[in-house]
Structures are given as structure tokens and as C-alpha cells.
Amino acid sequence: MTDAAHPVTGLDEVVHQRVRLGILTVTHEARRVEFGYLRTQLELTAGNLSKHLSVLEEAGLIEVEKGYEGRRGRTWITLTDSGAAALNEEIGRLKQLIARVETSGS
């Protein structure tokens, strides 16, 4: 064993939370995603999704853009560069955890 910190110590509570990790992942895949699509994909209420989006926006991980499509109000979410970096860091830590479990045996 090395003296390096355990990978779990580097997990980011803002990113790691299940819903927020889902938001970041879907947004990363789509580049720009509409609020309703996220709500459907993650099976959330509008209020629950809004709360998580606020946390991510305050952390600078996403940008929220409000506008119109025809006469209907729409909200689009885009991953920031910081958000992409945070997601990549989180995925890297999770891969380290998986590797530790796989190499430690049953």
C-alpha cells in the first residue's frame, strides 16, 4: 500500500450526489439539454430538478439559459468547462475505486 490518500477522499460532494452526477452526465453527452428532457430522463419532479440545478449553477458547473421556443418558455442547461473537469475528476476517482475493489479479490 502507498501513503497516498484513498480515492474516496477526493470525491466531490456536489458532483457525487446521484441526481447531480446524472445531470452532469446527461448534459455532457448532449452538450446542451432542455429541462424537460433532463426531468424525464432522471425521473424527477420539476422542483427537485430545479434545486439540483441551482446547486450546480452556484458551483459554476453548469450554465442555465432561459428563452422561448415558439411561444413556450424553455430552459436549457449547458456544462461549463469547470463542470466537464469536475465530472472527469469524479469519473477518474470512481475508476480508481473500482480498480481497488477488483484487485483486492472477493
> Which three cell numbers mark 67?
428563452
Domain 11-95 listed as CATH 1.10.10.10: yes
pLDDT of 1: 47
Which residues of the chain are under the pLDDT cut of 70? 1-3, 106
| Residue 69 host element (H or E) | strand 62-69
Cα separation, 78 vs 93, whole angstroms: 23
The structural domains of the chain, with segments of one domain joined by +, span: 11-95
> Which three cell numbers mark 27?
448534459
Among 39, 20, 27, residue whose Cα is nearest residue 80: 27
Angle at which helix 81-104 crosses helix 18-30, to 10 degrees, equals 120
